[in-house]
Amino acid sequence: MNQISLQNRLLLTATILLVFFLGMTGLALDKAFQSSAESAEMAKLESELYVLLGAAELNQYGSLDMPEVLAEPRFSVPESGLVAQIITGEGTVSWVSTSALGLVLPPFDGLQVDKSSFQRLPVSGESWFGYSYGVAWVDAAEREHRYSFRVLESPEVYNQQVAKFRQTLIVWLAVAALLLLLVQLFVLRWSLSPLRQIEDEVHQVEKGLRDQLNESYPRELNSLAGSLNLLLANERRHLQRYRNSLSDLAHSMKTPLAVLRGAAESENISSETREVIENEVGRMDNIVEYQLQKAAAAGRVSLTEGISVLPVVNRLLESLHKVYRDKSISYSVDIDEDIKFTGEQGDLMEVVGNLLDNASKWCRNKTSIKVSKIRTDADTHDRLLFTIEDDGKGIAEDRVELLLQRGTRGDTQIPGHGIGLSVVREIVSAYGGRLSIARSDMGGAKVEVEL
């Protein structure tokens, strides 16, 4: 979820809200239309009932007479969907329209005088609309005769109207949703364009195409751009000042060490003193070299152009061929040309150079190096896995941690200062990487470095 872009997050949220809002709007409009259609149906049935009232006549026997031909012809046509019924005050059926032929009408208990009722009633398994009204006639003898009129109509026309309305409503809501989504997408792209611009400029800084970001952003992002520019400037000044100080330190130590070496060669001192001086001077050389290499590992510089790994490895192998020409070492290289290291070239050469040098020193006649990408969701750049193997004697598990310590050597008979692996570990740690040593399938050591 965290990998979803801001634009997609906002668009997804807006889409969910839009669907919910339009869904509720469509539901409300559908309910309103149904209510309006039912009101229209009631008004129509009411008018039909009044037509029946106008056509009914009370005869001399106190019974209602209905004409054979009514104003509404549907009452005279079976299965027309419009039915009329009249009952007396005692609940007996006085008259039923011809259109009721074949239908099972629901019970009708009648109504009080001047009372009306509109409801859905079951007719032959369907829910019909029904409108009822109670009336009273007074004959010439001042006797009151009560009747209840009821008009029933099939919901077929009503259902067709509702279905047509829903279809039209869905089409227009879908069109409205599409238009709103397009507008939202345009608004989001326009609103988030400063973020895309600052991302593009950061990538340009990474590739070395520019030194800093523009500061002509909206108020909310302008301070961020200014802070990044300040960070870039401080990083460059700090790194340059650090390297200058290291260079000055290296030069200032050369003369005292040279004097001490010269004094050790003097004939006026004993051999025991000379040996002590030489040992201490060698130790000081080791310490200075170690500290200079450690400090030169500036750590990962995220805003820099990637460095192609293969050319660096090839240059190192050319040098190692000359250094170990007597061993006739066969080097195997498995590195794609597009693999790049995001960091300092000096750090890359220190790590790969030390590991290849150690492998060349301890191998019999074969050494291999492989570099592959490790893609992780948490990183902007690909992590690299360096694997260096040899066919030597290997390293015992109980000596791995010891060899990673400064000044510890695998064999004191072979020249070296014993700081190579410790420098590699310091650089790997500065980059937040991982260093491991295991047994190789070739028989020797297998060193893996993840940066």
More confident residue, 235 or 43: 43
Q: In whole angstroms, what is the distance from residue 366 CA to residue 388 CA?
A: 11
More confident residue, 339 or 410: 339
Coil, helix or strand at residue 145: strand
State which H helix or E strand residue 119 sits in. strand 116-123
Query: With 50 as the cut, is the pLDDT of residue 411 above it?
Result: no
Query: With 70 as the cut, is the pLDDT of residue 300 above it?
Result: no
* Per-residue pLDDT at 412: 42
pLDDT tens across 416-436, in order? 434 467 778 888 887 888 888
Residue type (1 letter), 344: E
Tally the C-alpha atoms within 13 A of residue 392's C-alpha that lie toward its C-beta.
22
Average the pLDDT over each of 338-342, 349-353, 420-424 and give the range with the smallest value.
Answer: 420-424
Interval 141-148 mean pLDDT: 87
More confident residue, 379 or 325: 325
* Per-residue pLDDT at 433: 86
Give 182-198 as a DSSP string.
Answer: HHHHHHHHHHHHHHHHH
* Per-residue pLDDT at 3: 61
| Residue 151 burial (CB count, 10 A) | 26
Task: Output the six-digit token pair for 322.
Answer: 């000359």
What percentage of the chain has pLDDT greater than the value 70?
A: 85
Give 280-348 as a DSSP string.
Answer: HHHHHHHHHHHHHHHHH-----SSS--EEHHHHHHHHHHHHHHHTTTTT-EEEEEE-TT-EE-S-HHHH
More confident residue, 80 or 140: 80
Coil, helix or strand at residue 94: strand
Average the pLDDT over each of 31-35, 93-97, 298-302, 409-413 and give the range with the smallest value.
Answer: 409-413
Query: With 60 as the cut, is the pLDDT of residue 290 above it?
Result: no
pLDDT tier at 50, thresholds 50, 70, 90: very high
Kindly report whether the global pTM for this prediction surpasses the value 0.85: no
Coil, helix or strand at residue 80: coil
Characterize 75-114 residue by residue with b for buried, 16 or more Cβ atoms within 10 angstroms of its Cβ, and e for exposed.
beeeebbbbbbbbbbeeeebbbbebbeebebeebebbeee
State which H helix or E strand residue 407 sits in. none
Phi and psi angles of residue 402, each rounded to the nearest 5 degrees, phi first = -65, -40
Phi and psi angles of residue 59, each rounded to the nearest 5 degrees, phi first = -85, 180
* Per-residue pLDDT at 59: 83
Q: In whole angstroms, what is the distance from residue 63 CA to residue 53 CA?
A: 14
pLDDT tens across 208-266, in order? 777 778 777 777 777 777 888 888 777 777 777 776 777 677 667 767 777 777 776 76
Task: From 284, 44, 14, 33, select the one nearest 165 (Cα to Cα).
Answer: 33
Q: Chain-wide mean pLDDT for the chain?
A: 82
Phi and psi angles of residue 386, each rounded to the nearest 5 degrees, phi first = -95, 125
Average the pLDDT over each of 12-21, 168-177, 236-245, 317-326 and give the range with the smallest value.
Answer: 236-245
Coil, helix or strand at residue 269: coil
pLDDT tier at 334, thresholds 50, 70, 90: very high
More confident residue, 311 or 292: 311
Average the pLDDT over each of 272-276, 314-318, 334-338, 406-410 and give the range with the smallest value.
Answer: 406-410
pLDDT tier at 14, thresholds 50, 70, 90: confident
pLDDT tier at 381, thresholds 50, 70, 90: low
> Which range among 9-13, 48-52, 341-345 has the greatest average pLDDT?
48-52
Query: With 90 as the cut, is the pLDDT of residue 131 above it?
Result: yes
* Per-residue pLDDT at 291: 58
Handedness of CA 51, 52, 55, 59 (dihedral sign): negative
Coil, helix or strand at residue 21: helix
pLDDT tens across 87-125, in order? 998 888 899 999 999 899 999 888 999 999 999 999 988
Tallying the residues shown for the chain, one arrives at: 451
Query: With 80 as the cut, is the pLDDT of residue 271 above it?
Result: no
What percentage of the chain has pLDDT greater than the value 90?
A: 32
